[in-house]
């Protein structure tokens, strides 16, 4: 199999490497246009859009398997994407502190089987619990954090770790790729 990760995320690259497979990285460049009504539908749709974009440029390649993924943070039913600026990040953290929210990651696998293009998608959801934070902590976090490129304005694996009280579900899903579920989905589809 020739695996292609349709993402430039260094976190997804690190997680995918845990499968012990070799893969290429080819980030999707198309505009992300959310479709669907629920977070599950939206992340699966965005992941499929990314995977299909890259798969379209690899038709005829022997055994291509394109992996697309998208992650969102959901608080009170509202999707929080990546912050626009540091002020937006502080506002997101204000909403998340002292309470629980969900992290959804959609994954899409585009591949060819018996001469036909196929796309299979799934999602994983993890509940994340934040400790309460003071306004001073929120401002300091927003000024110095590496969360600008992360949904919800934080990375569980980086400087936000000291504010995470606990999780329910897959830790790697919060990082950006539910690697155990991905492995089992690939195995069921006989793609690994």
Active-site residue set = 70
- Secondary structure class of 161 (helix, strand, coil): helix
Instruction: Look up residue 118 and give its two tokens.
Output: 């196929």
| N-to-C CA span, the chain | 7
- Cα–Cα–Cα angle for 59, 11, 117, rounded to 5 degrees: 20
Query: Closest Cα partner for 191 from 123, 110, 115, 117?
Result: 110
- Cα–Cα–Cα angle for 76, 77, 79, rounded to 5 degrees: 105
Q: Are the C-beta atoms of residues 43 and 72 closer than 8 Å to each other?
A: yes
- Secondary structure class of 56 (helix, strand, coil): helix
Task: Return the exposure string of 63-83: e unless at least 16 CB atoms fall within 10 Å of the residue's CB, then b.
Answer: ebbbbbbbbbbbbeeebbbbb
CA distances from 165 to 27, 61, 139, 148, 176 (A): 33, 46, 19, 21, 19
């Amino acid at each position: 199999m020739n695996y292609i990760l349709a993402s430039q995320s260094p976190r997804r690259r690190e997680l995918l490497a845990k499968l012990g497979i070799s893969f290429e990285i080819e980030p999707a460049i198309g505009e992300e246009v959310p479709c669907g009504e629920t977070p599950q539908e939206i992340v699966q749709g965005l992941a499929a859009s990314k995977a299909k974009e890259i798969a379209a440029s690899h038709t005829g390649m022997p055994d291509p398997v394109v992996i697309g993924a998208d992650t969102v943070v959901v608080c009170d039913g509202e999707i929080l994407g990546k912050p626009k600026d540091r002020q937006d990040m502080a506002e997101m953290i204000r909403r998340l502190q002292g309470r629980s929210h969900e992290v959804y990651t959609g994954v899409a696998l585009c591949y060819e089987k018996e001469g036909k293009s196929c796309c299979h998608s799934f999602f994983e959801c993890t509940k994340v619990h934040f400790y309460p934070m003071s306004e001073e902590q929120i401002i300091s976090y927003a000024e110095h954090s590496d969360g600008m490129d992360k949904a919800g304005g934080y990375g569980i694996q980086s400087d936000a770790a000291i504010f995470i009280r606990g999780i329910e579900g897959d830790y790697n899903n919060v990082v950006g790729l539910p690697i155990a579920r991905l492995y089992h989905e690939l195995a069921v589809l006989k793609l690994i």
